[in-house]
A = this chain, B = another copy of it.
Amino acid sequence: MKFFKVKTVEETFTLIEEMIPGIREMETRPLEDALHCILAEPVVAHENVPAFDRSTVDGYAVYAKDTYGSTESMPGFLTAAGEVNMGEEASRAVARGEAIYVPTGGMLPPGSDSVLMIEHCEEIGGLLNTYKQIAPGENVIRAGEDIRAGELLLEAGIRLRPQELGALAALGITHVRVYREIVAAYLSTGDEIVPYETERLEAGQVRDINYLTVSGLAQEWGIKVIYGGITADDYEGFSSRARELFEQSDLLILSGGSSVGAKDYTTEVIQSLGDPGVFVHGISIKPGKPTILAVAGGKPVIGLPGHPASAMIIFRLFGERVARKLKGEILKSKPERIYARMAKNIASAPGRADYIRVSLSEKGGEWWADPIIGKSGLITTLVKSDGIVEILSEKEGVLQGDYVPVILSK
């Protein structure tokens, strides 16, 4: 077997970016069912938004020059020449010296180039007194000012947030091409592990809680997880079950069994699934050192440490990157991490990245991160935490008051 050198967190991120393929199969979805899907094809606008010049205020559509010189004490005078109804075409043009009433959002009549707010004029018997001069374009959104016909509205690879759905709807687009949904499969290993539904534990047994934390996180990323059960620690059984699940899914997640123990078949099983195989075997990180990342025949495989807290932190940290890359998302610089100030001094071994569970509180317009006390294997330390502080390997720890990046719980 290949010899694997433990990777740093940064090296692991780079390798994920290089090694994990994005799926290419697309599907068409109605807009209402496309939230957080990844756009598979760019969207070019086929029309202007808005489709016509619109007023942004209640007021009078005018030719701006006709208001020049108007002040409170020296008003100008225009002829009030009717009004535009909401949702209707402005049929009559504004001639020089005229003004036509337009409500907020209404269509500007031809001939006008701006709207004088009702607060700045007064209609008296067919005559409009203007108390303010305005500039061309004032209080108007021009046709195409929001979206211009022909422009690239959305690139392929972006995640559709509510605002992207809104922008698509503005163009009357009802369906989008997105990458299809991802299905992951989860398989647990370990002679001590029993299904979490087990009512009474025998001595020495523990429940398989990683399935709940892993599938919960995956669900937050829009990924469905098939529960593959628990395999015993024998190579044949483990290997055939893993292959079965691997073939049913886009991403195989193995929990436990990745520590270097006598009964550790995980690496062997993963290597048997296809090439190129394992590309990360061990990360200089605490918790979660015995982590495995692989690609076999174009599908990612993640080997998580068995400790519940480690498994969850590792999956949050690396699993999310793997998942987003696999889903076809173009990863942009976005605040996955926020900054907070550390409430206590924290020591850290140089050459190793430490992930410290913290609770957050707001003080003086800043977030402060307070480390959670308790052994790192305890799931309740995660229950008590709002996020995880990242202390990267070049640091020997952080001092009270230092700014630190925090990965938030959703």
Hey, which chain B residues are within 8 Å of A211, CB to CB?
A: 169
Hey, which chain B residues are within 8 Å of A259, CB to CB?
A: 58, 104
Q: A107-B204, A259-B104, A338-B338 are in contact. Are A216 and B378 (CB under 8 A)?
A: no
Hey, which chain B residues are within 8 Å of A146, CB to CB?
A: 377-380
Contact B339 A105, beta carbon cutoff 8 Å? no
Hey, which chain B residues are within 8 Å of A403, CB to CB?
A: 365-366
- Partner pick for A166 among B52, B107, B362, B382, CB 8 A cutoff: B382
What distance in Å separates the Cβ of A102 from its nearest Cβ neighbour in chain B? Answer: 10
Most B Cβ at <10 Å: residue of A153, A206, A306, A409: A206
- Partner pick for A35 among B196, B199, B216, B335, CB 8 A cutoff: B216
* A18 at interface, CB cutoff 8 A: no
What distance in Å separates the Cβ of A14 from its nearest Cβ neighbour in chain B? Answer: 17
Contact B383 A164, beta carbon cutoff 8 Å? yes
* A205 at interface, CB cutoff 8 A: yes
Contact B335 A204, beta carbon cutoff 8 Å? no
Hey, which chain B residues are within 8 Å of A31, CB to CB?
A: 196, 212
- Partner pick for A210 among B145, B166, B385, CB 8 A cutoff: B166
* A410 at interface, CB cutoff 8 A: yes
A126-134, A187-195, A242-250: which lies at the interface:
A187-195
Contact B106 A192, beta carbon cutoff 8 Å? yes
Q: How many copies of this kind of chain does the complex include?
A: 2
Give the distance in Å from the alpha carbon of A335 to the alpha carbon of B363 in the complex: 12
Contact B212 A169, beta carbon cutoff 8 Å? yes
Is the interface on chain A under 10, 10 to 19, 20 to 34, or 35 or more residues? 35 or more
* A100 at interface, CB cutoff 8 A: no
Q: Which chain A residues numbered 366 to 389 have a C-beta less than 8 Å away from chain B?
A: 366-367, 375, 377-380, 382-383, 385-387
Give the distance in Å from the alpha carbon of A161 to the alpha carbon of B220 in the complex: 9
Contact B379 A207, beta carbon cutoff 8 Å? no
* A157 at interface, CB cutoff 8 A: no
- Partner pick for A170 among B105, B168, B172, B379, CB 8 A cutoff: B379
- Partner pick for A50 among B103, B107, B206, B406, CB 8 A cutoff: B206
* A89 at interface, CB cutoff 8 A: yes
Contact B56 A377, beta carbon cutoff 8 Å? yes
Hey, which chain B residues are within 8 Å of A345, CB to CB?
A: none
Contact B169 A209, beta carbon cutoff 8 Å? yes
A67-75, A80-88, A270-278, A296-304: which lies at the interface:
A80-88
Contact A378 B145, beta carbon cutoff 8 Å? yes
Q: Which chain A residues numbered 168 to 218 have a C-beta less than 8 Å away from chain B?
A: 168-172, 174, 190-194, 196-199, 201-217
What distance in Å separates the Cβ of A4 from its nearest Cβ neighbour in chain B? Answer: 19
* A6 at interface, CB cutoff 8 A: no
What distance in Å separates the Cβ of A346 from its nearest Cβ neighbour in chain B? Answer: 16
Contact B261 A104, beta carbon cutoff 8 Å? yes
What distance in Å separates the Cβ of A361 from its nearest Cβ neighbour in chain B? Answer: 6
Q: A86-B190, A105-B206, A209-B169 are in contact. Are A379 and B141 (CB under 8 A)?
A: no
Give the distance in Å from the alpha carbon of A238 to the alpha carbon of B161 in the complex: 30
Hey, which chain B residues are within 8 Å of A361, CB to CB?
A: 333
What distance in Å separates the Cβ of A395 from its nearest Cβ neighbour in chain B? Answer: 11
Complex A-B, nearest 5 residue pairs according to Cβ-Cβ distance, in ascending order: A162-B216, A87-B192, A89-B203, A163-B382, A169-B196
- Known: A87-B190, A335-B406; 5 extra A-B contacts, CB below 8 A, are A35-B216, A87-B193, A161-B216, A162-B214, A335-B367
